[in-house]
A and B are shown apart, each in its own frame.
Chain A
Amino acid sequence: MLLSIGLSLVIEKFVLIVVVVMSSLVIAMYATFAERKVAAIMQDRRGPNRAGPFGLLQPLADGLKLFFKEEIIPSLSSKFLFILGPCLAMLTAMMTGAVIPWGDKVHFFGRDISLQIADVNIGILYVFGVVSLGVYGIMIGSWASNNKFSLMGGLRAASQIISYELAMGIALIALLMTTGTLSLKEIVQQQQEHWYSWNIVKQPLGFLIFLICAFAECNRTPFDLPEAENELIGGYHTEYSSIKLGFFLFVEYINMFLSSAVMVSLFFGGYDIPFINDASLAEKIGTNWVALIHAAVFLFKAACFLFLFMWVRWTIPRFRYDQLMNLGWKILIPLALFNMLVTGAFILLQQNNWHF
């Protein structure tokens, strides 16, 4: 099996990886810009509009600024870990994109090329594993800083992710019971048929729990306790400067984009075009054009989620720590368990032809 991998496949995957990584970086870059614009518009301001037309070059300027800033590594920090922290955060954030189906397939050079880097049959487990690893970047960085505030931020991040991953996992189990597969590609394909075959219709409560947990996993407001700037002076990135700080800030946006992508594929039909039969459209205008539309639709849905992330950030204040824990352990986990039980009972009843 391994030996049969041809050179063309390697090239094809390599190109796909480069495209996915580059585009998620660019999207995250402009997400920082969008965040500032959305914040401004919601607060009746104008937002950045000086760099380039409509301020479109602002993220470039921000990035350049971070690159040219002085790099400070605290003398009492463990230097290797201090540098490893942001690198690890960046790496794990980018890794999630590997299993997300960005579109169905394109037809080039007489080959069908799937628009998914790796169709792993345990795709969603892979996502979970990588997301849990993501907190290591924060933890290592905060520990290596040798700073009380950083350490507290790191501890908060760790305990928060542990608490919310449970509820997220249980909410997802209910979804997996209805889909019967762990492969993201298959989950998306199951949702292709009608707009009401989207999983949000089958699992509304599961989606709500998943959404809240996704906010917590991305360290977004109202769950941004690890970097609480007014009590922890920036939390885990207190001691960071220059582009290492930039990495930490940037990772948040990559995480946001990729968790939006995961939510779109799990609950909102992935690249499915609503109200249109994709197969007949493909016959009419060709596979490649449909793939393009698919990717566009997928990105549009993800953009809607990105907007939701920002909208919530500029509406809701941060939770207190005990409120965060209460919400996670006393509300979300029981709710998720309840959701799982109901789903299980429903499936059993269905298999038994609605007899008790």
Chain B
Amino acid sequence: MRNICVAQILKHMQALTNRAQQVERKPMTLMERAYLPAIFRGMAITFGHMFKKRPTINYPEVTRPFSPVFRGLHILNRDEEGRENCTACGLCAVACPAEAITMEAAERIEGEEKLYREEKYAAKYEINMLRCIFCGLCEEACPKDAIYLSETFAPANFQRKGFIYGKEDLLIPHPITEPEAHAKAKGGRVTIK
């Protein structure tokens, strides 16, 4: 019955795709009923798979390279003298569609000129990595080149509060006191413990 239906439909209707096929319900041939040849063919297929290239990589030891424009964990930038760029203007927090960024501004007092580039700085700067969607709009909004997205992602954590990254997690290492760590964070992959 079903075969006839399919045949009639195919005859009277214009098929939209060329994928419609009539189902064959012929009785099996002796070769097919013998079952063993089909098994041998199947076994040849599985055996052939032993020599295929495996797509899996040994993850923690080997990692796939990220694209250079990968948007990963945020980094708060310092200038070449090691002063923080951020002035706590709040443009990044405004730009953030996920409302992941909060900050508190403070005024630079005398003697802190080597720490902060401008007269106002972020006393507290927090990004909730569980809210963040890594869109990069904060990076675009920043007028001071203070925040950018690096080439790594937030590592797993057992607690929610572990995902709220403060200044100590986000700030790039000091370029003069820790030049190697700074260079590493600046270019190439960044690993954050």
On whether the two chains bind one another, the answer is yes
- Smallest CB-CB separation from A314: which chain B residue? B46
Closest to B47 in A: A311
Say yes or no for B49: interface residue by CB 8 A criterion.
yes
Q: Which residues of A contact B31 (CB under 8 A)?
A: none
- Taking a contact as CB atoms closer than 8 A, the residue among A42, A43, A316 that contacts B39 in the complex is A316
In the complex the two chains form, what is the Cα distance from A311 to B47 in whole Å? 8
Cα-based distance from A45 to B54 in the complex (angstroms): 6
Chain B, interface size: which category?
Answer: 10 to 19
Is A281's beta carbon under 8 Å from chain B? no
What is the CA–CA distance of A46 and B46 in the complex, to the nearest angstrom? 15
A23 interfacial contact with B, CB 8 Å:
no
CB pair B49–A44 under 8 Å, yes or no, is yes
Q: Taking the complex as formed, is B177 at the interface, i.e. its CB lies under 8 A from any CB of chain A?
A: no
- List B contacts of A26 (CB < 8 A): none
Residues from chain A with Cβ under 8 Å of B46 in the complex: 42, 311, 314-315
A44, B52: Cβ atoms closer than 8 Å = yes
Report whether A46 and B50 are in contact in the complex, using a CB–CB cutoff of 8 Å.
no
B55 in contact with A312 (CB, 8 Å): no
When distances are taken between beta carbons in the complex, the residues of chain A under 8 Å from B47 are: 42, 311
Cβ of A49 within 8 Å of any chain B Cβ, yes or no, is: yes
Measured in the bound complex, the distance between the Cα atoms of B56 and A28 in whole Å is 28
Q: Collect the chain A residues with CB atoms within 8 Å of residue B115's CB.
A: none
Question: B43, B49, B58: which contacts A312 (Cβ < 8 A)?
Answer: B43
* A45 contacts B56, C-beta separation under 8 Å: yes
Q: Give the contacting residue for B49; candidates A43, A46, A49, A316; CB below 8 A.
A: A43
Q: What is the minimal beta-carbon distance from A25 to any residue of chain B, in angstroms?
A: 28
**B42 interface residue per 8 A CB criterion:** yes
Encode contact with B along A66-101: 1 for CB under 8 Å, 0 otherwise: 000000000000000000000000000000000000
Q: Does A201 contact B (CB under 8 A)?
A: no
Contact B54 A315 (CB under 8 A): no
Q: Contact at B43–A44, with CB atoms within 8 Å? A: no
**Residues in B neighbouring A49, C-beta threshold 8 A:** 58
Q: In whole angstroms, how far apart are the Cα atoms of A43 and B50 in the complex? A: 8
Most buried by A among B46, B49, B54: B46
A41 interfacial contact with B, CB 8 Å: yes
Query: Are B39 and A315 in contact (CB-based, < 8 A)?
Result: yes
Within 8 Å by CB of B58, from A43, A44, A46, A315, lies A46
Q: Is the CB of A311 within 8 A of B43?
A: yes
Chain A 30-59 per-residue mask, 1 if CB under 8 angstroms from chain B, else 0 = 000000000001111110010000000000
Is the CB–CB distance between B42 and A315 below 8 Å?
yes
CB contacts (< 8 Å) of A46 on chain B: these are 54, 56, 58
A46 to chain B, nearest CB (A): 5
B43 touches A315 (CB 8 A): yes
Contact yes or no, B39 A44, CB < 8 A: no
Residues of B within 8 A of A45 (CB): 54, 56
A99 to B47, CA, bound (A): 34
Measured CA separation A46–B50 after assembly (Å)? 11
Which B residues from 23 to 59 make CB contacts under 8 A with A? 39, 42-43, 45-47, 49-50, 52-56, 58
| Chain B contact residues, CB within 8 Å of chain A | 39, 42-43, 45-47, 49-50, 52-56, 58
Given A42-B47, A45-B54: 16 more A-B contacts, CB < 8 Å: A41-B49, A42-B46, A42-B49, A42-B50, A44-B49, A44-B52, A44-B56, A46-B56, A311-B43, A311-B46, A312-B39, A314-B46, A315-B42, A315-B43, A315-B45, A316-B39
